[in-house]
Structure 1
C-alpha cells in the first residue's frame, strides 16, 4: 500500500503536533487567552500512541516527519519520542518546528535523539516588539536557542518570519542580514486566514512578491532560483548571489502550492487533518484506543487519503476555516 490521494499526489510527509499548548500567544496563531477554556481537560495521544501512528505512516511510504505544536518543547521528555521513532526503518528525516524559547536547554538532547534540523519562528529582532507580537516572549532566549542549535550541529536551521503589514514589515531587510550573519535560511510567510486569530490578521497581509522585491533591492544582487529539495516544502527558494544564504517565501494566499502538496497533519489529540485550509479530517484516536490492529490502522489511513481535497480556498472565502486554530494544526 502507498498513500496516493484522489489527485495522484503521493503523501510522503506528516506533520505531528505533540501539544496545542504554547508559551507564546502570537496574534496570527492563537487567541490571547489560549486555546482551551480555563480548567478544560485535554487528552493528548501518549508518545507510544504517537509512535504507533507514525510507524503506520512510515510503513506506507512516509519518509519525513516534522514535530510541531503548539510549542513542542513545552511537552516533557520530547527526546524520548524522537529516539523511539528514529528507529523506524524508512524514516529519513525528523525535523522540529519551535519558537526556540526552550531550545538552548533542549538542543543537544534533541540532536542526539535524532532531530537533524529545525525551523525557528522569529517575527522580530527588536526585543520590545517581539514581546508584543508574542504577547510576552523573550527574544534573548530565542536568540540563545538559535546559537545553541547551530552549535550542536542542527542543520539546516531556518528562520520563519510571518510578515505583517504595519507591525514588522519594516524588518524584512534586518532579518535578511541576520540570516546572512548566521548562515541561516530565512523564510518569509504570508499571514493565513486560519481560525479566528488568523482571519483577524488578514488586514495585515503582505504579499510574497512585495517581500521578494524588497529583498532584491536590499541585497543589491540577483536572487537565483534554488532547485527544490525534499525538505523545502511549500517554500519558493532563492540563493543570494555570491553567498550560501537562501531566502524563501511561502505564499499560501497570493500564490497557492496545492498541486504539489505531499503532506497531512496529525493533531496532538489524534485527528488526522488532510488540508490546512479545509475541514476534512479523520479521527484516529478513537479506533486506536478501541484496539484496532496495525493492519487496520494502516488501512484507515489509506482510506483517509481519499478525503484529501484538491486545494484550499483562502482567496475565495477567508471565513470558511474559522472552525480551527493554527496552533492546533501545527502550521
Structure 2
C-alpha cells in the first residue's frame, strides 16, 4: 500500500467525495436557484466508469476507506448503479455512500443497495410540501418521502437527511423534524448555509447559526457522540427517547477544519483540497490507463502539500467555488 494521505498539518485523509456529474434537476435556492446551466457549449465530459475506477483505486491504495458518490444529482447518470458496483468492489473501500435529492430512490434504491451502496444521504429541506417546493423549485416532496421509506425497505439501517438551515424559511420546523425522527432511525443533519461566489444576498438574508439548535438539544438531554476516523464534520447528538439522531454541521465555528479528513474529486477529474479552495489539481491526464497509477498517486500526494489550514469562511473568503454543485458539495 502507498503512503497514507497526510497534509502538512498532519491531518490524515480516509474519506473521498467523488463527484460524477455537476448536473442537477432541482433548483435549490442556496445552490442552483436558476437551475443547472453548463459552463461549456459542448456536452460536458464527466469521468468515465474506467476513470472513476482508476482514481478511486489510487485513493484506496493510500488508505481511503470511504467514498461518497456525489453530484450535482449523481443518480442522473445512467450508469449510476454501475458506478456504485465499481467503487464497492475496490479492495480497501468498506463504505460506499451517496448524497441524493431522492427523486429516483423509490424506484432504484434496492438496486443501489444490491450493487454495494452502504450509506445514503437524502436532501430534505422541509417537511412541509409547500416549503419544500419553495426551496427546491420542484414539487417532489412525496416522491422523496416514498424514496426514504424504500431505503429502509431495501435494508439500510439508517438514512441521513441533509437539511440546510434557512432563516425565515425552514428555521421554524425544528419541532416537526424532531417529532419525525422520534420513531425513525434517521440522522437529521442541519447544515449551516455557506456563502459561495454566486449567493451573497441570499447568505446575508438567510444565514442562521446552528448554535441555537445545539443549545436547545443540550438543554433537552441530547448527548454528543464520539466521532469516527472517517466520519464527516457533523457534531452528532443522540437522546435515549429518540430512535433518530441530530447532526450539526457548522463550518463557521472555530477549529471546524482542524479535523478535516476528506478530499474531493470533481466530475471532470480535478482534485480539490477544500470545498472553498482556490483551484483544483488536474488528474485526468493520468486516468487514461492503469499503468499511470504511481504517477497519479504521486501527484495526489504532492497536491496535499498545498492544502491550507482552513477554508477561511469566517473571514468572508469563499474561494472560487461558484456553487455547491460544481464540485460535489
The reply to whether TM is greater than 0.5 is yes
Q: How does 1:60-209 map to 2 (within 5 A)?
A: 60-197=62-199, 200-209=202-211
Q: Once the two structures are superposed, what CA deviation does each residue of 1:242-283 show, in whole Å capped at 9, x if it has no partner? A: 333211100012345201101110011001110112214201
Give the 3 Å change call, closer, same or farther, for CA 51–38 of structure 1 in structure 2: closer
Structure 1 distance, partners of 2:82, 2:175, is 39
- TM-score, normalization by structure 1: 0.93
How far off is 1:197 after superposition? 3.4
| Unaligned runs of at least 5 residues, structure 2 | none
| Cross-structure match for 1:301 | 300
* d(CA) in 2 for partners of 1:263, 1:120: 19
The 1-side partners of 2:47 and 2:218 are apart by 45
Give the CA deviation at 1:292: 6.6
- Contact between 2:183 and 2:243, CA under 8 Å: does it hold in 1? no
SS of match in other structure, 1:173 = helix
CA contact (8 A) 1:119 1:159 kept: yes
1:233-244, aligned counterparts within 5 Å? 233-244=232-243
Q: Which runs of 5+ in 1 are unaligned?
A: none
Deviations 1:181-204 (A, max 9, x none): 322111111000123137633431
Alignment length (residue pairs) = 327
| Aligned counterparts, 1:18-97, within 5 A | 18-36=20-38, 39-97=41-99
Change in 2 beyond 3 A, CA 1:71/1:298: same
SS at 2:183's partner residue? helix
Segment drifting more, 20-29 vs 225-234: 225-234
Q: Which stretch of the first structure deviates more once superposed, 294-303 or 31-40?
A: 31-40
Q: How far has the Cα of 1:325 moved from its partner?
A: 2.0
1:327 aligns with 2:315: no
Any residues of structure 2 matched to 1:218-229 within 5 Å, and which? 221-229=220-228
Paired with 2:255 and 2:139, the residues of 1 have a C-alpha distance of: 30
RMSD of the TM alignment (CA)?
1.9
CA distance change for structure 1 residues 198 and 114 in 2, over 3 Å: closer, same or farther?
farther
Could you tell me which residue of structure 1 aligns to residue 278 of structure 2?
279
